Amino acid sequence: MHEMAIAQGILDIVLAAAAEHDAAVVRRIKLRVGEMTEVEPDALRFCFAALAADTPAAPAELDIEVVPLAGRCQDCQCEFAVARYRFFCPVCGSADVEIISGRELQVEHLEVD
């Protein structure tokens, strides 16, 4: 389960930011998680809660935005949603596709007291 390692990384970032800003409690964590990361939001929430217990982030709510997988054809510049990891342009059929979203794994912002 790679969610545990990801949750640990998020917790490390959050606790460092909270300490840097003298925050006593972390209330909300906004995350952007790309579809291609294959992170299961409920598993991530569970792992984060287990790791955050007894830390200033214990009461934090994870607000997870799942970013869809999208590509851009390098031949015709068409931008499109990538379904089932089929990286073929729906306009010209080219396989020369650049991923433009869906790989994100970011802590976007925190709400603290």
pLDDT tens sequence across 55-84: 999 999 999 999 999 999 999 999 999 999
47 assigned to a ligand binding site:
no
How many domains, the chain?
A: 1
Strand-pair partners of 101: 70
Q: Answer whether residue 96 is part of any domain.
A: no
pTM here is 0.89
76 assigned to a ligand binding site:
yes
Q: Answer whether residue 81 is part of any domain.
A: no
Tokens 């934090």 — which residue?
60
Please report the beta strands in the chain, taking only residues with DSSP state E, as ranges in sequence order: 26-34, 61-67, 70-73, 79-81, 97-101, 105-112
Q: Answer whether residue 77 is part of any domain.
A: no
Q: Answer whether residue 59 is part of any domain.
A: yes
Q: Answer whether residue 24 is part of any domain.
A: yes
pLDDT-derived band at 88 (thresholds 50, 70, 90) equals very high
78 assigned to a ligand binding site:
no
2 assigned to a ligand binding site:
yes
Task: Give the mean pLDDT of the chain.
Answer: 97
Q: Identify the domain containing residue 21 by its residue range.
A: 3-69+102-112
89 assigned to a ligand binding site:
yes
